[in-house]
Structure 1
Amino acid sequence: MKGTISHRDSFLAHIQQQLGKASSPSTSIQRPVGKYQVQWETNGLLSKEELVEQLKKQCQQIHTRVVETTPEKAPSALRLLMTEYGEGPVMTSRDRRFEQYGFDPMFDCLQKEGISVTSWNADASRDENIRQAEQAKYAVVFSDYTLAESGTVVLSSHQGQGRALHFLPMMYIVCIEKSSIVPRMIQAVSALNRLVEEGERAKGAIHFISGPSNSADIEMNLVVGVHGPVRAVYVLIDDE
């Protein structure tokens, strides 16, 4: 049921009168601009290479491994990781970048070797997608933006990428395009907001994930990977 607004102008005029301001309410509100723009200035002048170094340094603090590669070698880099950590079922998001960087032939080879490779399926039931995510050893996704300051990947939920994909598999592998790295949260949030202003539908959920979970609730002993994936690996693709 749609609500209605009554006596708005008279109500606002009364408040303005009590505050000693003009009697007629302003028809437009200008967003104030602060004298200091710390949120933009912090790390805002760093080069892309400096942002990469900051990201790598921060990942050491959040127990996240960074593997650097080129667009041509990205599939083989992912395959080597799966060999190193042990083969197991793989679940991916539905993302055009897997085809763009040539991951699909590698996934086909895994399936021929008897390793299950599935993608989040919008046509399947919610329970079926969650079951697949629970059984997967590896989740492989692409980040939309990556925050150099905190080592955080920014990902949105959509029909080809449900929330459970980020939290249920044992290993979480995020492919990061170098061009997607930004200094900090303000740049990522502003970019997402611009997309909505330009007409794109708002995301159902936006996730800010900084490596595997950390817990020190029991006797202040830090345990990594208690809630969600045990390990997180960022595959950094130099796409510039």
Structure 2
Amino acid sequence: MKGTIFHRDSFLAHIQQQLGKGSSAPTSIQRPVWKHQVNWETSEFLSKEELVEQLKKQCQQIHTRVLETTPDEAPSLFRLLMTEYGEGSVMTSSDRRFSQYGFDAMLKGLQKEGITVTSWGEDATRDENLRLAEQAKYAVVFSDYTLAESGTVVLSSHHGQGRALHFLPMMYIVCIEKSTIVPRMIHAVSALHRSVEEGVRAKGAIHFISGPSNSADIEMNLVVGVHGPVRAVYLLIDDE
């Protein structure tokens, strides 16, 4: 329910006056210009291949497997992963890139083999989507951006991709377009902010996911995959 704000201007003016900043509210906010731009300059001049190598190296530290592939071979590589890790039900996000890279035909083939394939449904109820995500062995999604510095995939929540899809299935498969790899967090956040300024509707939530969950709460023994997927695999698609 949308509420109504009463006496906002007078309330804010009172706070400004108490802070010694006068009673008039500023008409605009000026962004500061920083003398040093370390946040931008770190890894700024790395080539795309160097960013890929940085990503692969970091993923070794966060227990995440990286497999490089081509647009044509990406669907068959996922099928090979299912052979390696064991067959099971699959749930995907509703993303046009599954059709773009030929996943649709492969997923239909899985259904003919008797494997359950579902998609996070825009028309399904929340409880239905949660139930399907909980039952799925594989979650398959596309990242919006990927941070080479930390091995973090950046994904948004929307009607075709609920946040539970990232946490409930046992296996987490993220398809990463090489063109979307950026050096670090500020590059991804700035791109998302810029898209909103250009009129794109802001997403309900933005998730920064760095491999499977880790916990060392019990006697400092590291356990991977405690609070989410047991394994995470990045399929790095060379789309350039």
**TM-score interval, smaller chain:** over 0.9
Distance 2:11 2:123 in 1: 48
Is the aligned partner of 1:6 residue 2:40?
no
Give the Å deviation of 1:163: 0.8
Aligned residue for 1:173? 173
Distance 2:94 2:11 in 1: 50
Aligned residue for 2:74? 74
The AA in structure 2 aligned to 1:171 is: M
Is the aligned partner of 1:206 residue 2:214?
no
Distance 1:40 1:117 in 2: 41
Give the Å deviation of 1:153: 0.2
SS at match of 1:52: helix
CA RMSD of aligned residues (A): 1.8
The AA in structure 1 aligned to 2:87 is: E
User: Structure 1 stretch 132-141 or stretch 197-206: which is displaced more?
Assistant: 197-206
Give the Å deviation of 1:31: 1.6
Aligned residue for 2:150? 150
Aligned residue for 1:193? 193
Distance 1:228 1:9 in 2: 47
TM-score, normalised to structure 2's length?
0.93
Give the Å deviation of 1:222: 0.4
Give the Å deviation of 1:27: 4.3
Give the Å deviation of 1:101: 0.3
The AA in structure 2 aligned to 1:75 is: P
Distance 1:11 1:124 in 2: 46
Aligned residue for 1:132? 132
The total of aligned residue pairs comes to 235
Give the Å deviation of 1:26: 5.9
Contact 1:13 1:25 in 2 (8 A): no
SS at match of 2:115: coil
Aligned residue for 2:86? 86
Unaligned runs of 5+ in 1: 18-22
Distance 2:38 2:66 in 1: 29
- Rg (Cα) greater in structure: 1
TM-score, normalised to structure 1's length?
0.93
Distance 1:34 1:144 in 2: 28
